[in-house]
A and B are shown apart, each in its own frame.
Chain A
Amino acid sequence: MRNLLFLLSKIHALLLFIVLEIIAFSLISKSHTYQGASISNTSNWFTGSFYNFSENYTQYFGLRNENIALQKENARLRGQLKYFANYPKQDSIYPKRDSLSSYIYIPAKVINNTIYKTHNFITINKGSNDGIKVDMGVMNSNGVVGIVSKVSDNYALVMSILNTNTSISVKHKKSGAFGNFKWKGFNPTIVNVEDMSKTANVKKGDTIVTSGYSTIFPPDFPIAIAKNVKTIKESGFQKIETTPTADINKIDYVYIVEKIEKMEIDSLESELSKPQLNDR
């Protein structure tokens, strides 16, 4: 009898262990089903509002650097403004709008962020109520940050570029050769560019920009600077290690990019032109 009880007590622990592990593993596999996106705990309202609350207090520490970054961006945009002021008006041979104008930018604040995992995610304080949708691009003034992978009402989870499942189509700014921007894990300052043709002849210090092949990011936006380039013999490719231009460890504010559909732009413009006609 005592032996039987002893056996039972041993088995009940084993059974409990198996049940708990099954629960844990089903949670894990569930979290890997959607595009490799983790189940969005930090984008649900409970944890989201809590992180938002703590971020409200910790954000002051980064305010100085944030101001400097905004100042730099302002300066850059002012420069562009001057350029566009001289841009020829309508009904000239130039196209009405360039590729940049068909994207809108929604500002958001980062409320949770990691860089030390293999699959890193960023939580931001904008969600479907603010028009955020899955697969929108996320960037800051320096470069590409990630891609939205899950959205709740007021928060969204962003697959950071420091996530081994993230892959972004990029091109070499000088030669225009295309490649794939993919993190190998481990070092947050090194991201690889794969499948870029050897003929591109990438050199150290060259800029890598978004390709615009997918509609997620506007084309020609900086994403990384080439750091180490090795040519592999007997292959058509170079082994390119780059440093992302956006410092993921220090991001506070980001923009979510949305490509406006062409139809939408057209209807918007026709609406705009009507009152103008009446004025004349």
Chain B
Amino acid sequence: MTGRYIFPNTIRFILVLLLQVFVLNNINLFGWASPMVYPFLILLLPINLPVSIVLLSAFFAGYTVDFWSNGGGIHAASLTLMAFLRKPLLTQLMPQSGYEKDELPTFVNQGIGWFFIYSGIMLFIHHLMYFVLEAYSLSNFGLTLFRVLVSGIVSIMLYWIVSLTALPNRKKQR
């Protein structure tokens, strides 16, 4: 079931992680917003991919980013949490007709509104965990929350710009 995903997803993982580590990690808008696209690697995995594979991919991707950016394990911890909550959220957001077999959770397949809610909630979970761990304390929580929101908005906007310009008309891509 998943065999045909391995090759394109491996390439995508490598490209996105390179983009994250060598380009985006060097960008900081206004000094406090750091765009993160690597959560989309996990967001866009096929809907019925086994949770264990999603979890392992998330840990791997997160730890790779940590390795290159002195993160310790904060990217890995936050991305694994997001990956774990992906299945329950997908179940909650399931349309009445259900998902098709091997469907990808993209805005082309599921509609813009659906995808906005899905990616918004997922990114909020990831960013919240990430920035709390990064600050390593719950004091100054307002500031942390502010960073979560600003970085989340920047990340979503970046994803939309990339996907709208780079992936035109790929309806129902499997």
Which B residues are within 8 Å of any A CB, using their own CB? 22, 25, 28, 31-34, 51-52, 55-56, 58-59, 62-63, 66-74, 76-77, 80-81, 83-84, 87, 133-136, 140, 143
A31 to B31, CA, bound (A): 24
Are A38 and B55 in contact (CB-based, < 8 A)? no
For residue B62, which residue of chain A has the nearest CB?
A24
A152 to B44, CA, bound (A): 38
Interface-facing stretch out of A77-85, A115-123, A255-263, A265-273: A115-123
Let me know if A93 is at the binding interface, CB within 8 A: no
Q: Contacts A24-B80, A115-B31, A185-B143 hold; do A39 and B134 have CB atoms under 8 A apart?
A: no
Task: Count residues on chain A whose CB falls below 8 Å from chain B CBs.
Answer: 36
With A13-B52, A114-B69, A185-B143 given, name 10 new contacts (CB 8 A).
Answer: A23-B73, A23-B76, A27-B63, A27-B76, A28-B72, A41-B68, A118-B135, A118-B136, A185-B135, A185-B140
10 interchain residue pairs of minimum CB distance: A31-B72, A27-B73, A116-B28, A24-B77, A24-B73, A13-B51, A24-B76, A17-B84, A28-B72, A38-B70
Q: Which residues of A contact B34 (CB under 8 A)?
A: 116-117
Let me know if A89 is at the binding interface, CB within 8 A: no
18 A-B residue pairings within 8 Å (CB atoms): A13-B51, A16-B51, A16-B52, A16-B55, A23-B59, A24-B62, A24-B63, A26-B73, A30-B72, A31-B70, A39-B72, A41-B68, A41-B69, A42-B70, A47-B68, A119-B136, A157-B70, A185-B140
Are B72 and A21 in contact (CB-based, < 8 A)? no
Q: Contacts A28-B74, A38-B72 hold; do A116 and B33 have CB atoms under 8 A apart?
A: yes
Which A residues are within 8 Å of any B CB, using their own CB? 12-14, 16-17, 20-21, 23-28, 30-32, 38-42, 47, 54, 114-119, 121, 157, 185-189
**Shortest Cβ gap from A111 to chain B (Å):** 12
A189 to B32, CA, bound (A): 12
Other-chain contact of A186, B32, B69, B84, B136 (Cβ < 8 Å): B32
For residue A122, which residue of chain B has the nearest CB?
B70
Q: Which residues of A contact B73 (CB under 8 A)?
A: 23-28, 31
Q: Which residues of A contact B32 (CB under 8 A)?
A: 116, 186-187
Are B70 and A17 in contact (CB-based, < 8 A)? no
For residue A40, which residue of chain B has the nearest CB?
B70
For residue B140, which residue of chain A has the nearest CB?
A185
A42 to B67, CA, bound (A): 7
Q: Contacts A41-B67, A116-B33, A118-B135 hold; do A12 and B72 have CB atoms under 8 A apart?
A: no
Q: Which residues of B contact A31 (CB under 8 A)?
A: 70-73
**Shortest Cβ gap from B100 to chain A (Å):** 21
Are A20 and B55 in contact (CB-based, < 8 A)? yes
A32 to B84, CA, bound (A): 25
Are B81 and A21 in contact (CB-based, < 8 A)? yes
**Shortest Cβ gap from B80 to chain A (Å):** 5
Other-chain contact of A16, B56, B66, B135 (Cβ < 8 Å): B56
A15 to B54, CA, bound (A): 14
For residue A18, which residue of chain B has the nearest CB?
B84
**Shortest Cβ gap from A146 to chain B (Å):** 13
Q: Which residues of A contact B80 (CB under 8 A)?
A: 17, 20-21, 24
Other-chain contact of A28, B22, B87, B133, B135 (Cβ < 8 Å): B133
A31 to B87, CA, bound (A): 31
A115 to B27, CA, bound (A): 10
A12 to B87, CA, bound (A): 14
Q: Which residues of B contact A117 (CB under 8 A)?
A: 34, 134
Q: Which residues of B contact A16 (CB under 8 A)?
A: 51-52, 55-56
Q: Which residues of A contact B62 (CB under 8 A)?
A: 24
**Shortest Cβ gap from B117 to chain A (Å):** 23
Are A13 and B55 in contact (CB-based, < 8 A)? yes
For residue A13, which residue of chain B has the nearest CB?
B51
**Shortest Cβ gap from A200 to chain B (Å):** 27
For residue B74, which residue of chain A has the nearest CB?
A28
Q: Which residues of B contact A21 (CB under 8 A)?
A: 77, 80-81
A68 to B120, CA, bound (A): 45
For residue B143, which residue of chain A has the nearest CB?
A186
For residue A22, which residue of chain B has the nearest CB?
B77
